[in-house]
Amino acid sequence: MSKRYNFAAVLSAVVLICCGALILNQNVNAAGEGKITGTVKLDGPAPHMKGIDMGKDPYCAKAHANDPAHLETYVVGADGGLANVVVYISEGLSGSAAAESSATEPVFDQKNCMYTPHVLGLTVEQKFKVTTSDQTTHNIHPLPNPMTGNIPWNQSQPPGAAPVEKSWKAPEMIPVQCNIHPWMHGWFAVVKGPHATSDTKGTYTISNVPAGNYTVTAWQEAAGTQTQKVTVAAGGAGSANFTFKPK
């Protein structure tokens, strides 16, 4: 009997040591990791974005009384910087780097009957929260392609309700919609490995990239995807700039 306990103790110790080694190993790696930076621009004048008529829900209409809402298909800053473009490493990642995900849970907030952010970049299996800042009920209805293995869901979130915590199983660009406020439209951009989303200046930074040769893909919800080859030296920075043409 006691022999068995000894065995269990030894086994546990081995497991603990291995785990510790793994954690330490990661830290060591992180110090030597580089990044990929760049700017995403839109070629030509910004397309006209339709205004949104929120007349259906007085709460939403009131929230935008002085600040009319517009569609967010293209969000273009000064100098043609294109926001909400998800840039991610599509080829060249080793298995362990691809499985990595950041420690903090990204938040997808419903605020003034719009999604903030409009596009939420996520890695596979990464947990994220859907929250509401509104005093009106929303439903969150992402509709992934069932063939990918992602499971669709459709859930209401009344005012003051607890955050909805979810994750996705497979890489996919998943549209999400509120059916109660049909103009509310956003994306879960689920990818493998490090990624970044461009801001209104069009800039992005993918950090925690190990040294190596990569193919980087930039995805814009309407304009599609573009790819580039990038080389990152240990601890150094690679660069990739993209220019999209509006469709």
Partner 1 sequence: MAKIFAVTIILIAIASAVPIVMHMWPMPQDISTHGALIDEQYADTMLEAGISFLASQFLLAFFIWKFSAPRPGERVKNFPGGATGLVAAAFLLVGTEVLALGVFGTKAWASVYLTPPAANAVPVQVQAGQFAFYFRYPGPDGTFGPIHPEQISEANANFFGLDTTHDQDSKDDIVAAEMAIPVNREIHLLMHSKDVGHSFFVPELRIQQDFVPGLDVSVHFTATKVGRYEIVCTQLCGLGHYNMKAYLEVKSQEDYDAWIKQQSALQ
Partner 2 sequence: MHDMSAPAAHHGAPTSFIRKHVFSLDHKVIGKQYYALALLAALIGMALSWIMRIHLGWGNFAIPGLHLLSSTGAPGNVLTPEYYLQLMTMHGTIMVFFVLTTAPFAAFGNFFLPIQTGAEDMPFPHFNMMSFWVTFVGFWVLIASFFVGDGPTLGGWTQYAPLSAIGSVGGPGQGLGVVLWATSIAIFCIGQLLGSLNFITTTLDMRCKGMSLMRLPLTAWAWFITSVMGLTAFAVLMPACILLILDHVAGTSFFVASNLVINDQVLPHSGGSTLLWQHLFWFFGHPEVYIAIVPGMGIVSHVLITNMRKPMLSHRVLIYSMAALAVLSYMVYGHHMFVSGMNPVSSLAFSFPTLVITIPSTIVVLMWLGSLYGSKLQINSASLFSLGFISMFISGGVSGFFLAQPSIDIMLHATYFVVGHFHLVMGVAAMFGIFAGTYFWFPKMTGRMMSEPLGKAHFWLSFVGAYCIFMPFHYLGIAGNVRRYQAFTDDYLIPLIPVHKFITIAALITGFAQLIFVYNLIYSRFKGPVETDNPWQGTSLEWSTATPPPHNNFGATMPVVYHDPYQYSVEGASSDFVMQTSPEKINNPNEEK
CA 24, CA 47: separation in Å to the nearest integer? 49
161 binds, among partner 1, partner 2, none (CB under 5 to 8 A by kind): partner 2
Q: Does 173 bind partner 2 (CB under 8 A)?
A: no
- In the chain, the N- to C-terminal Cα span, in Å, equals 72
In the bound state with partner 2, the residue whose beta carbon lies nearer, of 174 and 232, is 174
Cα–Cα nearest to 228, from 40, 58, 95: 40
**Closest approach of Cβ 162 to partner 2, in Å?**
5
Sheet containing 164-166: order of strands: 114-116, 107-111, 128-132, 164-166
In the complex, the smallest distance separating the C-beta of residue 28 from partner 2, rounded to whole angstroms, is 40
- Residues of this chain that interact with partner 1 (CB under 8 A) are 50-57, 71, 73, 136-137, 139, 154, 156, 175, 177, 179-183, 185
Q: From the list partner 1, partner 2, none, which binds 50 (C-beta under 5 to 8 Å, kind-based)?
A: partner 1
Q: What is the DSSP string of 147-182?
A: GGTPPP--EEE-TTPPPEEE--SS-EEEEEE-SSST
Least distance between partner 1 and beta carbon 246 (Å): 13
Considering only residues 37 through 56, tell me which ones interact with partner 2, judged by CB under 8 A. none
Give yes or no for residue 246 binding partner 2 (CB under 8 A).
Answer: no
Neighbours of 114 (CB within 10 A): 24
| Closest to partner 2 by CB, 28 or 162 | 162
Which residues are CB-contacts of 189 (< 8 A; sequence separation ≥ 6)? 86, 88, 119, 120, 121, 122, 173, 174, 195, 197, 219
Which segment (2-10, 39-47, 148-156, 201-209) binds partner 2 by CB under 8 A? 148-156
Which one of partner 1, partner 2, none is in contact with 143 (Cβ closer than 5 to 8 A by kind)?
partner 2
| Inter-residue contact 226 to 198 (CB < 8 Å) | no
Q: Closer CB to partner 2, residue 94 or residue 154?
A: 154
